[in-house]
Amino acid sequence: MLASPFFSLTVVLTQLNYKTFFSMLTPIRFFVTICLIALIVPQTNTENALLRAFNSSNLFKNYGEAKTFLRSITWLSIFLYIVLTYLATIT
């Protein structure tokens, strides 16, 4: 039987001290915040320098793939930041 992610997190939390686990969230949240700022700031309505850099890097076949990847990574980062902030507030 496969273990759910919540069960795995519960096992980790019971093996670690709660205080130790939640004290690790502050540096992780700081790192995610810096990455999120670095992702969002270059994206403006008139010019998207980050999208242009991704498109010219030849990692993607076309402009659409680069745009989809950038949009996905931006929303994933925002969601991760919100989850980490929530976890930091329940301590």
Residue 50: CB atoms within 10 A of its CB come to 19
Query: Tens of pLDDT along 31-84?
Result: 999 999 999 988 888 888 899 999 899 899 999 999 999 999 999 999 999 988
Nearest to 27 by CA among 78, 74, 84: 84
pTM: 0.70
Mean pLDDT of 3-29: 66
Question: pLDDT band for position 11 (50/70/90)?
Answer: low
Nearest to 38 by CA among 29, 26, 50: 50
Across-strand partners of 48?
A: 43
Residue 68 has what pLDDT?
A: 94
- DSSP single-letter state for residue 45: S
Residue type, 20: T
CA distance 78 to 39: 10
